[in-house]
Structure 1
Amino acid sequence: MSLSPSQRLASVDDLLLYRLSHLTAAAGAVVVRLCEGGYGITRREWGLLAQLHGYPGGLLPSELAERMHRDRARTSRTITALLGKQLIERTALPHDRRSVRVSLTPEGQVLYAQLMPQIQAINSQILSVLSHEEAASLDDALERLRVQALAVQASMSPDLPKADRRRGRTASALAAKPKQALTRDRP
């Protein structure tokens, strides 16, 4: 009996996260074409609009960032883009004029109502290869994997260095490297 990729884990092609990224890329390409070509918004902008739907009072930008699993800077850029497209609006909080809630404009609500059924149809087409039981098993497996991933994340050592994504190195490796070597590496 041969092992499945999830049991084998012999190469990068067998790794769960790599395989999920391929699925996301293939399915996401359809959503990107729909959003960008049909509606003039990015997939990230669509995600923010979808998160705001159902919150007539709006959400704080920090709440949006958390819900979307994005950093605040990236969320802020997306908010700015959608404000420019008049799909969302900011409302200052009465008790703290520096804090704002972000909510959909009527135009944003209309866009959501037009786009959501199409996004749901794409998801349905992708899932159509699974039986009802397989889809239920997939949902169960995905939730168990999410919970396990959170447990793995919580078990990570707090001493693990953070990456300096601008340079592709850890902050501690940068600090340990002589300054001359840092300048020599630059293109």
Structure 2
Amino acid sequence: MANNQENQTVTDGSQNAGQTATANTGTVSTANSPITGPVIAAHLAANSVDETENGPDWKALSRKHEKQAKDNYEQLRKTEAAYEESQSQLHDLQVENARMKAQKAHPQISDDVFALCGETEPEKISEWAEKYAALNPVTSPVKAEPVREKAEQGARTRGEGAPKIRSGTYADGYAAAKARQEQRRQARSAK
């Protein structure tokens, strides 16, 4: 491959003798070795360190690797800080979860009661909740009677029987209520 740019031939007696490297673009055309040519070309393109007559510029390589080490160390510090923050958030969520589980298992424990708890570990919070629940048991809750049962009981005491649920339109209900009122009025006047 020939380039229109100024080329120089490497003749240091090494394996890549007879190759031409382009000074500006970093591309290499090989004359001798079809197998090692692309590898060497990629290697030369990747290492853009200035080479002198005696070999690579060690100071430039040292600065390059020192900069890379500093960048890696800074990235490590950022990653460690992010890890610590995520661990802190995870711990806070585990504590909140332990408190919610304790409140679900023991209804006598409220948010105000947790002010008495000095524990910060999820396992110890659940142990504290068990101890508190043993000291402060919940009385049996009053069984709530459904409204329907109360209405039926009230209707039976008045002698009306169980109330009936009717289906129909508003006009049908109005007509039925009007008919009941008329029956009651006639029953009172007949006495």
TM-score tier, shorter chain, comes to under 0.3
TM-score, normalised by the number of residues in structure 2: 0.19
Larger Rg, first or second structure (1 or 2): 2
Q: With a CA cutoff of 8 Å and minimum separation of 6, indicate the structure with the bigger relative contact order.
A: 1
TM-score, normalised by the number of residues in structure 1: 0.19
